[in-house]
Chains A and B, each alone.
Chain A
Amino acid sequence: MSGAVDMTENSQSAVRKAAWDAAAAVPDPEIPVVTVEDLGILRSVEIADDGTIVAKVTPTYSGCPATQFIEQMVLEALQQAGFKDARVEAVLSPAWTTDWISDDGKEKLRKYGIAPPQKTSNSKRALFGETVVSCPHCGSEETERVSEFGSTPCKALYRCNECKEPFDYFKCL
C-alpha cells in the first residue's frame, strides 16, 4: 500500500487517531519538554479526499525560525508512522494564541524553568501594561522584567528578586 489510506468507515477514525498521535508527539525544537500538541501548534490531522493525511500547523510568531523545522519534523513523524504521502500545511487563521497551550503543557514549561503565559494579555493599560509573573523556581511574585524580548520570539526575560534566579517568561499572545 502506498501512503493512501483505506477508507472504510471504521478504519477512518482509527487511522486519523494514529496519524494524530504520531504528529502530536513531535517535540518543540526550542523547548523539547513540550510537544506541538501541548503548545497548540498542531491544529488538525485530517484525511483528504485523495486519502492522504494532511496535518495543519500554525506558527507562533510570523518570523519564528522554528516554524519550518516543526513542519519538517511533523512530516517526518507521519512518514515514519507509515503515512508516506502525508502533507503538512501551514495555517495562519485563526491566529495562534497562548490560550491554546494545554494545562499540561503549562505545567511542563514551569517545571522546565519557563514561566507559562498569564491568562489575559496586555489589557490593563494598553501601552505600559505590566503583568504579574510568578517565578517558576520559587513561586514568588516579586519578579521584574529585564527585557520584553528574550532568546526566542515567544519569550521575555525576567528575574526573581526573591531567589535571585533569572528566568524566561512565555509571552502572552
Chain B
Amino acid sequence: MSDNDVLFTYLLRLADDQLILGQRLGEWCGNAPTLEEDLALTNISLDLIGQARSLYSYAGEVEGKGRDEDQLAFVRYEQDYLNALIAEQPNGDFAHTIVRQFFVSAFMAPFWREMEKSSDNTLAAIAAKASKEVAYHLRHTSEWVVRLGDGTDESHERMVEALEDLVMYTGELFESDGLVKAAIEAGFAVDVASLQDEWKRTVDSVLKEATLELPEAGHMQSGGREGRHTEHLGHILSELQYMQRAYPGMSW
C-alpha cells in the first residue's frame, strides 16, 4: 500500500465514523424527549456530518479518481464502509443514545486534540475545528450521564443497561492494525492506543459522579474497520442512500 492509499483509507475510516453516527443522531429529529434535546442531538449530528464532509472531500482529492464527497458518502456498499461498530448501533432508548455519544465523545476529544499535531496540514486543520466542537458534545453528554445515572431508579437502571450493552464496542476505538501503524509511521495519524488511559479516566470520573460504574469489559467486538458490520449498518444505508440511488448524481 502506498502512503497515498494509507491516507485515503485512514480518512475514509474517520469520515465514516462521523457520517454514520451523525445519521444515527439525526433519527432523533422530531422524536427527542424535549425540544431542547431535539435541537441538541441534531446540532451534534450537524457537527459530525460537517466533519465528515471535510474528510470525504479531502479523501476524494487524495484518491484522485474524481470521486467527490457525495459519491464517497452515498454510493458505496455496506462492506466498503469502515466505521467503528459503535457508530452504527441503534439509538435504543435515550440512555443508549447518551451512553453511545458519551463513549465516543470521550474518545474523540483527545483524538482530535492529538490530530491537531498531524504532519498533514489538512487533517490538522479539520482537527482544530472538530476539537472545539467535540468539547461541547462531551460536556453535554456528561451532564446527561450524571442526570440520568443519579436520577430516578428507572433512569439509573436504564443507564446500567446501556453501559452493559455498549461497553463491548469501545475496544475497537483503540485498535491499531497494520494500516493505523503505517499511518502513524507516516506521521499524520493518532496513536489511538495511547489514548485509552485518558478515555478511561474521563469515563470513570463522570460515571462516578453519576453513581454508575463502567462494567467489566469481556469480549470486545470489532471488524468495522475491515468492513465487517453488525446487522444495523445496512438498514441505515438504505435510508441514507435512498436519494442518490434513486436519482444518481442529484444535488439540492
Contacts and interface: CB of A to CB of B under 8 A. Distances in A.
Query: Is the pairing of A and B real?
Result: yes
A157 B140 CA distance: 13
22 contacts: A61-B133, A62-B51, A62-B126, A62-B133, A63-B45, A63-B49, A63-B51, A92-B128, A92-B129, A93-B121, A93-B128, A121-B132, A127-B139, A127-B202, A128-B143, A147-B37, A147-B40, A148-B139, A149-B39, A149-B44, A150-B39, A150-B43
Contact of B126 (A65, A92, A147): A92
Interface of B: 36-37, 39-40, 43-51, 53-54, 121-122, 124-126, 128-133, 135-136, 138-140, 142-143, 202, 205-206
A52 B125 CA distance: 26
Contact of B46 (A65, A128, A173): A65
Contact of A93 (B40, B48, B124, B140): B124
A151 interface: yes
Nearest to A148: B140
Nearest to B18: A62
Contacts of B37: 147
User: Secondary structure of the A side of the interface?
Assistant: loop
Interface of A: 59, 61-65, 91-97, 121-122, 127-129, 146-151, 153, 157, 171, 173
Given A63-B47, A149-B36, A122 B135 contact: yes
Given A59-B129, A93-B125, A173-B132, A127 B40 contact: no
Contact of B39 (A91, A151, A173): A151
Given A149-B39, A149-B40, A94 B51 contact: no
A171 B136 contact: yes
Given A92-B129, A149-B39, A150-B39, A127 B46 contact: no
Closest 6 CB pairs of A and B: A63-B50, A62-B50, A93-B125, A63-B46, A147-B36, A92-B125
- In this complex, which of A95, A121, A150 has the most chain B Cβ atoms within 10 angstroms of its Cβ? A95
A128 B139 CA distance: 6
A62 B53 CA distance: 8
